[in-house]
């Protein structure tokens, strides 16, 4: 006979076992989904806080938790963010440029929106500890749908904050109108960040878990200082059924590391890069097939992947990237394991929309053949990092002025011994030549890798009136940007 006390003990034990099974299942599925924010009546509203988390790092807090939500908007929406700086007045962590003020702001990376306050203004909108910024970003009705992202951009402190994870994904809906086969596919938003292991007591275990490669593919003398996380987890599992097609939207939100993505034994059917649907400027060839994709810091990949056959182990990896003799080590490692999907695996699906796609093939041959309108040259020495020989200064005049309403041929020259990813705010560009050789199947980007000792030629799209105002371009190795590799551009 079971006593009442024993009966309640069994109930508690059963509840505990159920909870442990739940935790085990969660650990097996592995990949956490960030919270999401959607709007109503064409307005998306949220409050975001900058504060110190339990580990002593800077972090975004949303709804009381240390997490960065996926923000979902439609073309024509208004994005309203109350951004509160609750960081301590005295910084715990060092900055690239001392003293560290714990100032912060937001940049809406890749969005073709105004650089004026209260929109994508990274120069004059700044919150010191205890202050609040109010953003109201107007998404143009004809804005390209795709994956974008938001992150902090205080000059001198951006590297530290982004390395700590102060970033999140931003999706502009409607991409299925540019590629109808996307409708109905399961969707995954994947945010890859770098996690510093330089002073981490778990560094040995973390290196082992991601199978950090000891192979040297470049001449970098240092030991690796970071491992990658996927949606905040180290080597999670991604569930996909054999033969199932899923739509993956992945952002390299690392502060300073490259990804060379490969899904072992599978290919990527690329639908968009850096938020720009390939179909928008190449309606006759709406996707690209690739077995691996190089993503510089800030780069985004949106692609259809197919589940491997049953019983075939597969992994999502990043291959080793040679960043040059003066670069940081970028070794190969495992990002995630691919496992069979269970019936209970939660995934959202791409829904159909009534968005009318803006499909237009551009003839830019004349501009491509013309001499560059502007040349950007990256250099560095022991004292800092430079664009055209100058370090960025907040009170500097614009390095270049561009007339709105035209396309321009720019050349980006890397005169240093390491890779530099070049990013420009407010606009996209067509990267069509590298080291004076045509790029096969060029695509539109907002961040491009520039090989060390080499160059990239691009066609800048300065045609949209909304971009008028003072903006910036810079190296997206944020430690380099903090130390001077940024310049102003005035869109007139």
Model pLDDT for residues 81-97, shown as the tens digit of each residue:
999 999 999 998 888 88
Q: Which of 93-102, 200-209, 251-260 has the highest mean pLDDT?
A: 251-260
Q: What mean pLDDT is predicted for residues 203-214?
A: 91
Residue 243 has pLDDT above 60, yes or no: yes
pLDDT of residue 47: 98
23: confidence class by pLDDT, cuts 50, 70, 90? very low
Residue 1 has pLDDT above 80, yes or no: no
Q: Specify which residues 424 forms β-bridges with.
A: 473
Residue 143 has pLDDT above 90, yes or no: yes
Residue 188 has pLDDT above 50, yes or no: yes
Q: What mean pLDDT is predicted for residues 156-167?
A: 97
Q: What mean pLDDT is predicted for residues 134-140?
A: 98
* Residues 321, 260 contacting (CB under 8 angstroms): yes
Residue 221 has pLDDT above 70, yes or no: no
15: confidence class by pLDDT, cuts 50, 70, 90? very low
d(CA 206, CA 195): 10
Residue with the bigger pLDDT between 27 and 136: it is: 136
Q: What mean pLDDT is predicted for residues 175-179?
A: 97
pLDDT of residue 12: 33
Q: What mean pLDDT is predicted for residues 27-52?
A: 89
pLDDT of residue 219: 59
Residue 269 has pLDDT above 50, yes or no: yes
Q: What mean pLDDT is predicted for residues 345-365?
A: 87
pLDDT of residue 199: 83
Q: What mean pLDDT is predicted for residues 35-51?
A: 97
Q: Which two tokens stand for residue 228?
A: 């990658």
Q: What mean pLDDT is predicted for residues 65-73?
A: 97
Q: Exposed/middle/buried for 87, CB within 10 Å: 0-12, 13-18, 19+?
A: buried
Residue 17 has pLDDT above 60, yes or no: no
56: left (phi over 0), alpha (psi -120 to 50) or beta: left
* Percent of the chain surpassing pLDDT 70: 92
Counting every residue, how long is the chain?
Answer: 492
Count Cβ atoms below 10 Å from residue 173 Cβ, excluding itself.
18
Q: Specify which residues 334 forms β-bridges with.
A: 317
pLDDT of residue 345: 62
Residue 5 has pLDDT above 70, yes or no: no
pLDDT of residue 4: 40
164: left (phi over 0), alpha (psi -120 to 50) or beta: alpha
Q: What mean pLDDT is predicted for residues 241-269?
A: 97
Considering the entire predicted model, what is its pTM?
Answer: 0.92
Q: What is the pLDDT of residues 412-460, one digit of tens each?
A: 999 999 999 999 999 999 999 999 999 999 999 999 999 999 999 999 9
């Amino acid at each position: 006979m079971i006593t009442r006390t024993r009966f309640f003990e069994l109930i508690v034990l059963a509840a505990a076992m159920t909870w442990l099974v739940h935790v085990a299942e969660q650990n097996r599925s592995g990949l956490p989904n960030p919270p999401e924010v959607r709007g109503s009546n064409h307005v998306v509203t949220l409050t975001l806080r900058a504060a110190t988390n339990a580990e002593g790092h800077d972090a975004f807090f949303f709804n009381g938790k240390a997490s960065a939500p996926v923000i979902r908007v439609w073309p024509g929406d208004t994005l309203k963010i109350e951004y509160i700086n609750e960081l301590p007045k005295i910084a715990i962590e060092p900055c690239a440029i001392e003293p560290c003020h714990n100032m912060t702001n937001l940049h809406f990376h890749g969005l073709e929106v105004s650089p004026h306050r209260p929109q994508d203004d990274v120069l004059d909108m700044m919150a010191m500890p205890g202050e609040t910024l109010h953003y109201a970003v107007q998404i143009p009705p004809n804005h390209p749908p795709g994956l974008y992202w938001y992150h902090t951009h205080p000059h001198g402190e951006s590297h530290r904050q982004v390395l700590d994870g102060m970033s999140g994904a931003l999706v502009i809906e409607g991409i299925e109108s540019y590629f109808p086969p996307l409708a109905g596919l399961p969707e995954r938003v994947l945010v890859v960040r770098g996690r510093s292991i330089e002073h981490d007591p778990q560094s040995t275990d973390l290196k082992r878990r991601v199978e950090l490669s000891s192979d040297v593919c470049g001449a970098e003398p240092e030991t690796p200082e970071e491992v990658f996380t996927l949606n905040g987890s180290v080597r999670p599992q991604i569930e996909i059924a054999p033969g199932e097609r899923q739509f993956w939207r992945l952002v390299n939100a690392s502060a300073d590391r490259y990804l060379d993505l490969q899904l072992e034994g599978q290919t990527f059917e690329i639908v968009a890069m850096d938020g720009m649907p390939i179909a928008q400027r190449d309606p006759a060839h709406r996707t690209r097939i690739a077995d691996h994709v190089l993503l510089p810091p800030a780069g985004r990949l949106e692609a259809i992947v197919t589940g491997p056959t049953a019983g075939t182990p597969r992994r999502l990896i990043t291959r080793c990237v040679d960043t040059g003799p003066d670069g940081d080590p970028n070794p190969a490692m495992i990002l995630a394991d691919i496992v069979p999907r269970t019936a209970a695996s939660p995934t959202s699906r791409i829904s159909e929309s009534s968005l009318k796609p803006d499909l237009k093939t551009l003839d830019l041959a004349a501009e491509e053949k013309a001499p560059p309108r502007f040349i950007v040259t990256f250099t560095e020495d022991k004292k800092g990092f430079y664009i055209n020989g100058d370090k960025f200064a907040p009170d500097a005049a614009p390095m270049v002025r561009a007339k709105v309403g035209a396309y321009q041929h720019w050349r980006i020259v890397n005169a240093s011994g390491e890779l530099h990813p070049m990013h420009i705010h407010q606009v996209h560009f067509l990267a069509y030549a590298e080291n004076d050789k045509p790029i096969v199947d060029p695509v539109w980007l907002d961040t491009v890798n520039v090989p060390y000792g080499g160059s990239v030629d691009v066609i800048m799209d300065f045609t949209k009136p909304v971009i008028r105002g003072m903006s910036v371009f810079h190296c997206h190795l944020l430690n380099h940007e903090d130390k001077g590799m940024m310049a102003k551009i005035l869109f007139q």
